[in-house]
Amino acid sequence: MVSYSSKPVSSMPTAASQPYVSSRKTVPTRQAIALISEHGDPAAEIGKDAAGGQNVYVRQVGEALAKLGWQVDMFTRKTKPDDAAIVQHSPHCRTIRLVAGPEQFIPRDALFPYMPEFVEAFRAFQSKEGTHYPLVHTNYWMSAWVGLQLKQHSNIQLLHTYHSLGVVKYQTVTDRPAIAATRLAIERQILEHADCIVATSPQEQEALRKLVSEQGYVEVIPCGTDIDNFHTIPRAEARAMLGFDADDAIVLYVGRFDARKGVETLIRACAQLKQGIVNEGTGNRAVNPANLRLVIVGGSDPNGADGLERERNEQLVQSMGLAEQTVFAGQIGHTQLPLYYTAADVCVIPSHYEPFGLVAIEAMACGTPVVASDVGGLKFTVVPNETGLLVPPQDTEAFAQAIERVLSDELWAKKLRRQAPIRVQQNFSWSGVAVRLSDLYRRLLAQSISSTLLFGTATATQPERSEPLPVLKEAALAIGLTKERVTDAEKVVERC
């Protein structure tokens, strides 16, 4: 078991007894399942410390599954000493923060060496509560490694959702991090050895088959959105509440400050719009530069990487002469965000890559047309000329022209605003996503029970024991850990 620790990153905590705020008082009458999201805390504030789409996905899926009759325990890593160890979201859904490494924010590329401690803390929690999770759904590649360790010694059904594919992500970066080879190996291993991969779009499924492995079982179940919160309201009402004028041409970005999110492309595109794009049909400027408003929504830590990226974006806004037209709105709460979507004329998602794109369906649910990069799951969520437009990523001119079309062709834009929420309601509600996941869970559990009854053990293929330890050692040494700390980590794995 692992103790709480406030030591700096340079010192790995030793194993000791781990306290918990509370334990379940009675044996649950529902089937307990575990969702694991090692860095994406389901109870975290969205928009801070890299909290984003994965956090939303796990939290919303967990709460929706609880409404369908499951006992849902969502496991993540504790990053602040003052954070509660257990957060109860509803009577049958909670977030459990395990101590694995220092109780502080650690960048994802430096987090993997603490995953053996996460495995040990997970097992300690199970033992403490007397709970067995016959089904574990992991999220992101490091959680996948955790799930593979659990599967080696337990008869569990293991499902995985990637949220981001390293093989695709690394195509868009100039310098691969030291952990890249480890990540790619684990992403292949989880595809080939999990009981099921949950891809969030057909495009992700295709990428897995072409770029990762042809082995493994994959089902496509999309992400969702809260259609009770994100829905259409009168645009004039939203603008009045936010202080925007009726004739403002509002271009909206919602997301984290990360160079891969493409905010720079959007800023440069808006600079072109301010200079004036001439409408080929009329010979006039398509957008009145005086009415242009660029609204950027997203939280950041002044001392973190996202804070530095925001500062860089602010400097670019200044150099492009957009300071008077641009609003950095900061972090906006879940209940206020629909006002921003509704007030906007267009929501722009200029990401270099998105496995799904939750912002797209949130905007569409509010009746806002979307202009997005023609990449990943955005090809699935955004239907060109029906709910928005898709353009090549990092193509400033293409983004400027697409935004201009939405702003200048009011009749066509009205059609997009009518069709966008219909597509979301029919395909992307969290309740609908949870029903499909619940059905998948039940089928896998039934198959596992049948295999055990017929053959005395589950028949699912399990990964070999020999691979994870060398992978861990390579990763730890690559990011600069001492050989002593690597040895400590290996000993933890041997006990799991």
Residue 318 counted as domain residue: yes
| Better-predicted residue by pLDDT, 414 or 26 | 414
Provide the pLDDT for residue 173.
77
Give yes or no: residues 138 and 48 share one domain.
Answer: yes
Indicate the residue among 379, 396, 427 that finishes a domain.
Answer: 427
Bin 77: left if φ > 0, else alpha if -120 < ψ < 50, else beta: beta
Burial-class residue 9 by CB neighbours within 10 Å (0-12, 13-18, 19+).
middle
Give yes or no: residues 102 and 174 share one domain.
Answer: yes
Provide the pLDDT for residue 7.
29
Give yes or no: residues 423 and 450 share one domain.
Answer: no
Give yes or no: residues 417 and 480 share one domain.
Answer: no
Residue 17 counted as domain residue: no
What per-residue string of b and e applies to 171-202 under the rule 16 or more CB within 10 Å gives b?
Answer: eeeeeebbbbebbbbbbbbbbbbbbbbbbbbe
Is the predicted pLDDT of residue 228 greater than 50, yes or no? yes
Provide the pLDDT for residue 333.
86
Give yes or no: residues 218 and 240 share one domain.
Answer: no
Instruction: Report residue 319 as tokens.
Output: 């150099």
Indicate the residue among 427, 442, 470 that finishes a domain.
Answer: 427
Say which CATH number the domain at 384 has.
Answer: 3.40.50.2000
Q: What is the pLDDT of residues 301-350, one digit of tens each?
A: 888 888 999 999 999 999 999 999 999 999 998 889 999 999 999 999 99
Indicate the residue among 427, 455, 480 that finishes a domain.
Answer: 427
Average pLDDT in the 81-106 region? 96
Provide the pLDDT for residue 376.
87
Give yes or no: residues 422 and 456 share one domain.
Answer: no
Give yes or no: residues 369 and 291 share one domain.
Answer: yes
Give yes or no: residues 327 and 262 share one domain.
Answer: yes
Give yes or no: residues 184 and 83 share one domain.
Answer: yes
**287 band by pLDDT with thresholds 50, 70 and 90:** confident
To which residue do tokens 């796990």 refer? Answer: 58
Q: What is the pLDDT of residues 171-190, one digit of tens each?
A: 877 789 999 999 999 999 99
**279 band by pLDDT with thresholds 50, 70 and 90:** low
Query: What is the number of other CB atoms lying within 10 angstroms of the CB of residue 385?
Result: 11
Is the predicted pLDDT of residue 22 greater than 60, yes or no? no
Provide the pLDDT for residue 448.
82
In 3D space, the residue among 139, 120, 122, 117 whose CA is nearest the CA of residue 35 turns out to be: 139
User: What does each C-alpha distance from 104 to 49, 55, 81, 301 come to in angstroms?
Assistant: 11, 17, 8, 14
Q: What is the pLDDT of residues 125-147, one digit of tens each?
A: 999 999 999 999 999 999 999 99
Residue 12 counted as domain residue: no
Provide the pLDDT for residue 11.
34
Number of domains in the chain: 2
Domain range enclosing 108: 32-224+430-495
Residue 111 counted as domain residue: yes
CA 388 to chain centre: 22
Would you say 249 and 274 are in contact if contact means Cβ atoms under 8 Å apart?
no
β-bridge partners, 159: 137, 196
Alpha-carbon gap, residue 317 to 323, rounded angstroms: 6
How much is the mean pLDDT over the chain?
85
Q: Kindly state the DSSP code that residue 197 receives in the 8-state scheme.
A: E
Residue 192 counted as domain residue: yes
Residue 27 counted as domain residue: no
Give yes or no: residues 77 and 179 share one domain.
Answer: yes
Q: What is the pLDDT of residues 419-476, one digit of tens each?
A: 999 999 999 999 999 999 999 999 999 988 866 555 555 544 433 333 444 445 554 4
Give yes or no: residues 423 and 434 share one domain.
Answer: no
Give yes or no: residues 393 and 438 share one domain.
Answer: no
